[in-house]
Amino acid sequence: MWCRSALVVAVSLLAGTTVRAQAPGGYQPPGGSMSGGGAWDGGGGRRMGPPQFDPSELPSPEEIEGPPNPATLRQLLSLTDQQTQQYTHAWDSLMAGTQAQRDSARAAREAMRSALQDRNRDVVQRQAKLLTGLGRDLRKRDEAFVKSLGFLSGEQRKQYADYQKEQRKARDEERRQRFRERLGGEPPDSP
């Protein structure tokens, strides 16, 4: 009788451990898991939680680089010599005025990538905050720049808008593909 009671107690303890291990925030396999904590799982059972920033607000590499250079735009929109000269002057001015921000954004993006690989959440958060602010400012300046291109014809403006839309679409598809390769699913939608 005593053996049977001891057996029941032992089974109960093991069953409780198994249930607790499967509960959220419970046991995580060594090296972390991609479920629940996603890429933010700190590994070794230490969960880092979700990111404290919106990844869709981070600037893309294209946004950091800025609008197309004059040679690219000339070819893309069949600019006249005069339009190319006007665009070159405006583009040079924009790039000179935003060079420090673009360099800072590149450095922040690289530091964030490195911190992600090292699973250093604090550095990722700081760099993401910095990068989001820089990206927001660069977007505003680039949008104002595009609006200032009054020398483009209506058709050229439409072509440029279509070009930007295609660039965004290709960037989003590339992001989805990377997400599928890494995690086997679809990423959250971006704006």
Please say if the pLDDT value at position 1 is more than 90.
no
Q: In this structure, are residues 87 and 79 in contact, taking their beta carbons and an 8 Å threshold?
A: yes
Domain limits at 65? 58-151
Evaluate whether residue 16 is within a structural domain: no
Helices 121-147, 81-118: crossing angle, 10 deg rounding? 170
User: Is 117 a domain residue?
Assistant: yes
Share above pLDDT 90 across residues of the chain, in percent, rounded to a whole number: 53
Q: 129-142 burial, b for 16+ CB within 10 Å, e for fewer?
A: ebbbbbbeebeebb
pLDDT value of position 41 = 44
Asked whether the predicted pLDDT for residue 132 surpasses 50, the reply is: yes
Burial of 73 (0-12, 13-18, 19+ CB in 10 A): buried
Distances (CA, A) of 7 to 18, 21, 26, 86, 156: 17, 21, 25, 87, 81
Domain total of the chain: 1
* pLDDT digits 0-9 by tens, 22-79: 334 333 334 443 434 444 444 444 445 555 777 778 898 889 999 999 999 999 999 9
State the pLDDT at residue 49. Answer: 57
Residue 28 belongs to some domain of the structure:
no
In a domain, 52, yes or no: no
Residues 128, 112: contact at Cβ < 8 Å? Answer: yes
Does the pLDDT value for residue 15 go beyond 70?
no
Whether 120 maps to a domain, the answer reads yes
The pTM for the full model equals: 0.65
pLDDT of residue 171: 83
Q: Is residue 5 part of a domain?
A: no
Q: How confident is the model at residue 111 (pLDDT cuts 50, 70, 90)?
A: very high
Report which of 31, 119, 107, 93 is spatially closest to residue 64, judged by C-alpha positions.
107
Mean pLDDT of the chain: 77
Q: 143-174 pLDDT, tens per residue?
A: 999 999 999 999 999 999 999 999 889 888 88
* Residue 18 domain-assigned (yes or no): no
In a domain, 128, yes or no: yes
- Residue 160 Cα distances to 57, 70, 77, 104, 114, angstroms: 23, 13, 7, 27, 34
Residue 97 has pLDDT above 90, yes or no: yes
- Cα separation, 129 vs 58, in Å, equals 9
What would the two tokens of residue 188 be? 């959250």
Give the three-state DSSP class for 169: helix
| 100 vs 181, more confident | 100
- How far apart (Å, rounded) are the C-alpha atoms in residues 99 and 113? 21
Mean pLDDT of 131-153: 95
